[in-house]
Structure 1
Amino acid sequence: MYEAAGACEDVSSDFADAVRAGLSQPQKIIPARYFYDEAGSILFESITRLPEYYPTRTETAILTEHAGAIAALVGPGRAVIEYGSGSSAKTPLLLTPLQAAAYVPVDISGEFLGQSAAALGALFPALPILPVVADFTQRFRLPAGVAGLPRLGFFPGSTLGNLAPMAAIDLLRGFAALLGPGSWLVIGLDLAPGSGKSVATLEAAYDDAAGVTAAFNLNQLTRINRELGGTVRIADFAHRAVWNAALGRIEMHLVAVQDTAFTAAGETFSLVAGETIHTENSYKWTLPESRLMARASGWVPTTAWTDSDQRFAVHLWQHDAGAMQP
């Protein structure tokens, strides 16, 4: 996927600013978008293949079964814009039945994006592939090659869950504004624990027995050391993932296993044993909550498909031309 389009902010500078600000708060945080340097992107792809990590294989099965129905509803000849495209592993499931006119993968990891683009280009040699290196939570420009084409947004993997509800609604409003009138959005959302999914199943998906998710989480500290002149002792931290029922989200933390201090981005930080750096939230929704979120953000929920165990849902939403957009 490599014809870079649009402007990407200086990610290293942003990372430094985010680390300085986040580690200065009473509850220390590092925003989840900084998981995805090249090493983090590779680790995440490994996570998606773990036996405990049901979201990827469940969403893939839903898309495989219902891609034809999606294509019949939205029609052919659309530019497919994928937010947080990663390896684009699920994308071929849609591109063929949609008879896509162009594909625009958007990802913050430029090197990984380029590798994925090349692989997808080999599968679809006649398809214009126009990658954009950008943080899709910020404003960016679409490439000129999709001007005038009807559009379909693709946002798989329940990545929306990394954002608090109001921030998620703001992001979805931004998608509606960028994609424009007449557009559609295919979005995957992980379902909240209920009759089909236990809390234990959910927590295991974020704390696998092989420790791959732990390595993914700890890679943030390795990145601080490499990119920001950090002196973090990685062994001073451990991975933790817990379900917060009151807030409807899985939380991932880096827990200090002993008192520790380090420098990063020119500043010094310290944690006492048991103190945490909050690295990710992953909100989960019921189907009614998902429909409310769609309407609140300028989309009309049309159809939702789930697996038989009610673990995951793929939604198809249509742009609400009458809604106020930013």
Structure 2
Amino acid sequence: MNTYDLEIHLKDEDLTRSLRADVAAGLTATPKRLPPKWFYDARGSDLFEEITRLPEYYPTRTERAILAEHADQIAELTGAKTLVELGSGSSEKTRLLLDALTAHGTLGTFIPLDVSASALRDAVAQLATDYPGLTVRGIVADFTRHLAAIPRGGSRLVAFLGGTVGNLVPAERAPFLSDLRATLEEDEFLLLGTGLVTEPAIVVPAYDDAAGVTADFNRNVLRVINRELDARFDVDAFDHVALWDADQECIEMRLRARADMRVPIPGLDLTVGFSAGEELRTETSAKFRRETLERELVAAGFALERWWTDPAGLFAVSLARAVRRQ
């Protein structure tokens, strides 16, 4: 019997309100910035899927290989009855965990959480078909705002994969991890995927590929603002820039204006000026070292139980257990 449902905590009007607030705040800030979540309309999601298949983009295939090697061990260590995935998308890599936990005989429920109702609806229906006997409960929500929507109980394992935690700057990451710990019961688990600090010659091309797919993906945020807020960005008037910040150990994606311009955004009753060469930051992707990530996890109330990497040390999957706070 296939059992699934979809729980809505984020409606279209919520997304529109959030987009308006982010664009108004970000494009009037100094320097200008936008959150990376606005890349991901249907076109942006397709572009990102294309990025994950590029030869330069190592994170997705590297994380998948780590999960494939250790999924059975993760199932054995956690004995999870409920798997929760934050920012699930298509849940492709998560199938490795679903297979292992199902084979282990403990898993009864899968709870994918994502902002896209349409993508989640399709994924939930397919997963319920592919895993008969598994209860699949999709939650349309923003993981930075709706962690309390995750149902309690069921010996939970929360998976947060893809290095997405690196998109949160330190001032955002600490409260997020703390809020996530508050959502979990003692001895429940967090499975976290993180990119690791490596040579700029490796990491920068992953965000600036030769075919220009990432550049198109980066500019897509302007297309989203044009469509949703009736803005008049000339998308091709911005160059894609990817820079490694050695001090902060992160890579930033930016859009650099090629000329002076003024951009009307009628949906906000706002006109935004850009100087030639001015940059708009669209994504920060922190890369981690084991000791710094472990310190952040401990501060939030987790104990690092396992740390798995690829042979080249490009990516890590870590298993952390929620512990009693001191």
* Residue identity (%): 41
Q: Mapping of 1:96-111 within 5 angstroms?
A: 96-99=99-102, 100-111=107-118
Residues 155-176 of structure 1 deviation map (CA, whole Å, 9 limit, x = unaligned): 0111000011232121111111
1:62 to 2:66 alignment: yes
Paired residue for 2:304? 301
Change (3 A) 1:238 1:204: same
Kept after mapping to 2: 8 A contact 1:224/1:230? yes
Kept after mapping to 2: 8 A contact 1:38/1:111? no
Matched residue type, 1:67: A
Paired residue for 1:199? 200
Kept after mapping to 2: 8 A contact 1:67/1:93? yes
Kept after mapping to 2: 8 A contact 1:236/1:260? no
Kept after mapping to 2: 8 A contact 1:151/1:184? yes
Change (3 A) 1:119 1:189: same
Matched residue type, 2:136: I
RMSD: 1.6
Q: Secondary structure at the match of 2:137?
A: coil
Q: Secondary structure at the match of 2:255?
A: strand
1:8 to 2:10 alignment: yes
Q: Secondary structure at the match of 1:130?
A: strand
Displacement of 1:257: 1.0
More displaced stretch, 257-266 vs 313-322: 257-266
Paired residue for 2:164? 159
Gaps of 5+ in 2: none
Kept after mapping to 1: 8 A contact 2:6/2:121? no
1:25 to 2:29 alignment: yes
1:42 to 2:73 alignment: no
Kept after mapping to 2: 8 A contact 1:252/1:281? yes
Paired residue for 1:185? 190
Residues 287-326 of structure 1 deviation map (CA, whole Å, 9 limit, x = unaligned): 1111111101111001100111011110000001235xxx
Paired residue for 1:247? 248
Matched residue type, 2:25: A
Q: Distance in 1 between matches of 2:244 and 2:37?
A: 20
Gaps of 5+ in 1: none
Q: Give the TM-score normalised by the residue count of structure 1.
A: 0.93
Q: Secondary structure at the match of 2:283?
A: strand
Q: Secondary structure at the match of 1:246?
A: coil
Displacement of 1:254: 0.8
More displaced stretch, 86-95 vs 38-47: 38-47
Q: Distance in 2 between matches of 1:84 and 1:302?
A: 23
Kept after mapping to 2: 8 A contact 1:87/1:112? yes
Paired residue for 1:176? 181
Residues 127-182 of structure 1 deviation map (CA, whole Å, 9 limit, x = unaligned): 11111111101134436xx5531111000111000011232121111111123222
Paired residue for 1:133? 140
